[in-house]
Amino acid sequence: MPWVCSERRRPSGHAAVRLLAVAALALPPSAHASGISRWAMGTFPVGGFSGYTSPFGMRVHPLGGDLRPHYGLDIAAPLGSPVRSWWGGRVTQVIRDGGCGNGLTITSGPYEHQYCHLGGAVSGNIYRSGAVALREGQWVRTGQLIGHVGLTGSTTGPHLHWGLRYRGAWLDPARVLRAMAESRRRFLPPQRRTPNVGQLR
């Protein structure tokens, strides 16, 4: 008898359940949960951090001068700094408009994370910057390079606008960064605790 793969059984129900459990574990925890080790798995979304320039919430619009909600956190970083996916997920939107500029929305379970004012270019449904080429529907890993800090859209200087939605509602990304920092402090060995996260009050 020739050497062949003889395994004909389909994966058992148990195996399928285990796979689903692993997939669920890889997702970020509930937005309302803190003190959970899984938060430590997230990646700070930009390298070359130089400060938080505008928090989430109501603010006087820097260009319009009127009071408007700001649905995200602005993280200043030098032009061209790497932008990394906060969590593994699927690219659900490649954006090119006057506000966000070049941007991406990535969906990870109940979360959508949005990255605005990126450098590079959008043509059709593909975002390109340096070695990065991402199209809608593509999967990305946690920490994967997904673009670079740019000056596209409505912005007064180079920064990443990072938006986060949980079950469709905007969330303050600073809360999530705090949960990540706390989780790293509690659950990771000292050499792995530095998450490249600036101090958040």
Instruction: List residues near Zn ion by CB under 5 A.
Output: 72, 74, 161
CA distances from 151 to 41, 64, 76 (A): 29, 18, 11
Q: What is the DSSP string of 30-92?
A: PTT--S-GGGGG---SBSS--EEEE-SEEEE-TTT-SEEEE-SEEEE--TT-EEE-SS-EEEE
Q: Minimum distance from CB of 87 to Zn ion (Å)?
A: 20
Smallest gap, in angstroms, from Cβ of residue 77 to Zn ion?
13
CB of 160 to Zn ion, least distance (A): 9
Q: Which is nearer to Zn ion, 55 or 109 (CB)?
A: 55
Tokens 């997702």 label which residue? 27
Minimum CB–partner distance for residue 54 and Zn ion (Å): 6
Our CB check for Zn ion shows the closer of 84 and 159 to be 159
Closer to Zn ion at the Cβ: 114 or 183?
A: 114
Taking CA 83 as the corner, what is the angle to CA 93 and CA 160, rounded to the nearest 5 degrees?
A: 80
Nearer Cβ to Zn ion (48/72): 72
Output 72 or 119, the one with its CB closest to Zn ion.
72
Give the nearest distance from C-beta 72 to Zn ion in angstroms.
Answer: 5
DSSP state of 19: H
Point out the residue whose Cβ comes nearest to Zn ion.
Answer: 161
**Contact in structure between 105 and 95 (CB atoms under 8 Å):** yes
* Structure tokens, 85: 């996916």
